[in-house]
Amino acid sequence: MHTARFARSPGRVGPSRHEGHICLSTASIDRQTATLAQWATMTVVVADDSMASRYEARIDGTLAGISEYELTPDTIVFLHTVVAEEREGQGVGSAIARYALDDARARGLYVRPLCPFIRGWITQHPEYSDLVRTAG
């Protein structure tokens, strides 16, 4: 059975190896625990701001990400998606993509994903590929 020893050096960041055991500082553990707790209670709210032609994701009322688009009569063209640096890797971009694509489907719109993030997200979620329009 392996056991982990915890280093007591408060300046240490992240895991390291010492004498064949994984060592973590208490500061690193506290930071990881705080991050996990934050993610567990975080709610991403996405809405279409049609006046600005963008979907907006908010966490606790604070803007966390956007996806800009152009709308034609039958197609939504995704141009650019941005997530706040401090929110990257927390599912904000995925929440925007899912909401926007579900909205497009509900409105009977085709999707033209010029934005690399939206295009990649659709590739990873083929259940949305039927929405894609490559030209038009």
Q: What is the pLDDT of residues 49-70, one digit of tens each?
A: 999 999 999 999 999 999 999 9
Q: Contact, 94 vs 118, CB < 8 A?
A: no
Residues 69 and 100 placed together within one structural domain of the fold: yes
Residues 88 and 124 placed together within one structural domain of the fold: yes
pLDDT tens, position by position, 70-128: 999 999 999 999 999 999 999 999 999 999 999 999 999 999 999 999 999 999 999 99
Structural domain includes residue 90: yes
Query: 116-123: long-range contacts at Cβ-Cβ below 8 A with a sequence spacing of 24 or more?
Result: 117/67, 117/81, 117/93, 118/67, 118/78, 118/81, 119/78, 121/93, 121/94, 121/97, 122/97
Residues 35 and 53 placed together within one structural domain of the fold: no
CA 7 to CA 27: how far, in whole Å?
Answer: 10
Residues 127 and 99 placed together within one structural domain of the fold: yes
What residue numbers bound the domain in which 29 lies? 5-40
Residues 36 and 54 placed together within one structural domain of the fold: no
Instruction: Extract the tokens encoding 21.
Output: 């055991």
Residues 61 and 12 placed together within one structural domain of the fold: no
